[in-house]
Amino acid sequence: MQITLESKPFAAIETDALVTYVFENGDVTQGRAGELDKLTGGLLSRLNKSGELTGKTLETTLLHAPAGLKASRLLIIGAGKRDQFNSITLRKIAGVAVRYLKSRGVHNFVFVVREGNTNEDTAQSITEAFLVSDFETDKYKTEKKNDKHIDTISVAGHSDSEKATAEKGMTRGRVIGEAQNFTRDLVNEPSNKLTPRILAEKAEAMAKQAGLTVEILDEKRIAELKMGALLSVAQGSDEPPRMIIITYTPSNAKPGAPVIGLVGKAVTFDTGGISIKPADGMEKMKYDMAGGATMIGIMRALAALKPNVKVICVVPSTENMPGGKAQKPGDIQTAMSGKTIEVLNTDAEGRLILADGVHYAKQLGATHLVDAATLTGAIVVALANVNVGVFGSDQVWTDKLLASAKATGEKMWQLPMDDEYREFIKGSFADIQNIGSGKGGGSITGAWFIREFAGDTPWIHLDIAGTAWNDDAKPWLAKGPTGVSLRTLVHLVMSF
């Protein structure tokens, strides 16, 4: 998909569709909408008066062969109340434009940004939104709707002096949008097409192409390094585990500078192991590698964006299967750090593999940690599919992340980590146990378990179990993987 800037006056633009947005109770005779209203002989005003064009959030009004314009269609999207309008709404509007027009066989359109939406950040966010909304999950469908695709989007409404910075934003937006879709492609793969070995191969290929350093630890190396927590999960499967390490080093790297460690859970399929999950809905557990895929996608973006800080991405990957050699409830395992773990539920496997991932990232030099994981069903109970659950050991570090989430339009909500919750995972027969002792707070005890391995290193945990998968197609987003938290973490790294 090509995304460019359009310079022609609105009336002269030849396109399949001209798109803009209007506000609820807004004056359609003002600003960019006003210009279009005038060109079309007051069309927008008439529709607004008749009640057909209200500006209610994501309302779509499609007009064919609008008089006064060279465009074949005029699509007007509702932007809701002006005082509640923000970049999240604008992203949705851009996404609705893509999906609405694509489904009607339109191949190119011109998106007119409203006055005040012409800065660099806005150009970046709508570019991301165009790419992210265009993503489809039809890879394995043999009959593709090949005629339904958008080739070119032009963005109009910038003054000549605004164009250079808008271009910059669009370039960055393309890198990030494509990285997010790269992650979503990985998450979409079923477990027979994406084993830990295949994920490692794909990560390695991406890293080499992007000019990043990459190392893949196989099951032998993992055993030599005594990553007992990762191995304990892997032992129930015929597929061997992998530990994926991708490193970005800035050209001006200085000794003693911060190093960010990004650790992602990549369970390519989670049956629950011996504590097996119910059959209903189990197919969704192919997305239990979304945290790892997110971190790999972030590295892809960073290779192009070149931040000033070193970043180490560590992705432990395995299946969680109930094979004959599988670990059993009550088994005691020794993590790489030396801590002993009582495995009371083999379905709480994410925290086990992250224990070794986090410890290894620290050993490699990480001074600031973030992990992302589809960790708990409990986070869906707490926050549904709306907010990512955020947990942190250091409020300064956590606040930085929350600011990045806000800036990139990703909804995240911090949950508490009082010491009282730590008591829930004190072990009876080993140092710690992998589930809380039946007093609720499932997402927090999961976070505390990982924190035990982060120690004093500032650490953030993102529970993306509720948000990494979109159950129902939205007018701006396909059903399936979302790639959530990639944008926030890229922003966080870039802010160093």
Give the one residue of 270, 371, 452, 463 binding Zn ion; rule: CB under 5 A: 270
| 299 vs 202: CA distance, rounded Å | 13
Give the one residue of 16, 185, 189, 288 binding Zn ion; rule: CB under 5 A: 288
Contact residues for 99 (Cβ-Cβ < 8 A; gap 6+): 133, 134, 475, 476, 477
Evaluate whether 337 touches 451 at the Cβ level (below 8 Å).
no
* Minimum CB distance to ligand BES, residue 275 (Å): 7
* Minimum CB distance to ligand BES, residue 102 (Å): 29
254: left (phi over 0), alpha (psi -120 to 50) or beta: beta
Q: Could you say which of ligand BES, Zn ion, none residue 35 binds, taking C-beta under 5 to 8 angstroms by partner kind?
A: none
Query: Which residues lie near ligand BES (CB under 6 A)?
Result: 270, 288, 345, 347-350, 374-378, 435, 442, 465
Looking at 174, 202, 351, 451, which residue is catalytic?
351
Q: What are phi and psi of 366, to 5 degrees?
A: -65, 130
Three-state DSSP at 268 gives strand
With binding defined as CB under 5 A, does residue 239 bind Zn ion?
no
351 is catalytic: yes
Q: Could you say which of Zn ion, ligand BES, none residue 43 binds, taking C-beta under 5 to 8 angstroms by partner kind?
A: none
With binding defined as CB under 5 A, does residue 342 bind Zn ion?
no
Closest by Cα among 428, 432, 438, 469 to 450: 432
| 479 vs 188: CA distance, rounded Å | 10
With binding defined as CB under 5 A, does residue 350 bind Zn ion?
yes
Q: Report the residue number whose CB is nearest to ligand BES.
A: 377
Nearer to ligand BES, 196 or 350 (CB): 350
Burial 307-335 (b: 16+ CB within 10 A, else e): bebbbbbbbbbbbbbbeeebbeeebbbbb
Nearer to ligand BES, 309 or 465 (CB): 465
* Minimum CB distance to ligand BES, residue 467 (Å): 10
Looking at 81, 277, 406, 422, which residue is catalytic?
277
Give the one residue of 185, 347, 356, 452 binding Zn ion; rule: CB under 5 A: 347
| 344 vs 134: CA distance, rounded Å | 43
Strands 388-392 and 412-414, how do they pair? parallel
Q: Could you say which of ligand BES, Zn ion, none residue 442 binds, taking C-beta under 5 to 8 angstroms by partner kind?
A: ligand BES
With binding defined as CB under 5 A, does residue 458 bind Zn ion?
no
221 is catalytic: no
* Minimum CB distance to ligand BES, residue 469 (Å): 7
| 197 vs 91: CA distance, rounded Å | 36
Evaluate whether 333 touches 229 at the Cβ level (below 8 Å).
yes
Instruction: Give the position of tokens 């709707």.
Output: 145
Q: Could you say which of ligand BES, Zn ion, none residue 376 binds, taking C-beta under 5 to 8 angstroms by partner kind?
A: ligand BES
| 286 vs 247: CA distance, rounded Å | 26
Which of these segments, 188-196, 307-315, 339-347, 394-402, binds Zn ion (CB under 5 A)? 339-347
Nearer to Zn ion, 370 or 373 (CB): 373
Nearer to ligand BES, 276 or 332 (CB): 276
Q: How many CA atoms lie within 13 A of 404 on its CB side?
A: 20
Write out the residues near Zn ion by the rule CB under 5 A.
Answer: 267, 270, 288, 347, 349-350
The catalytic residue positions are 277, 351
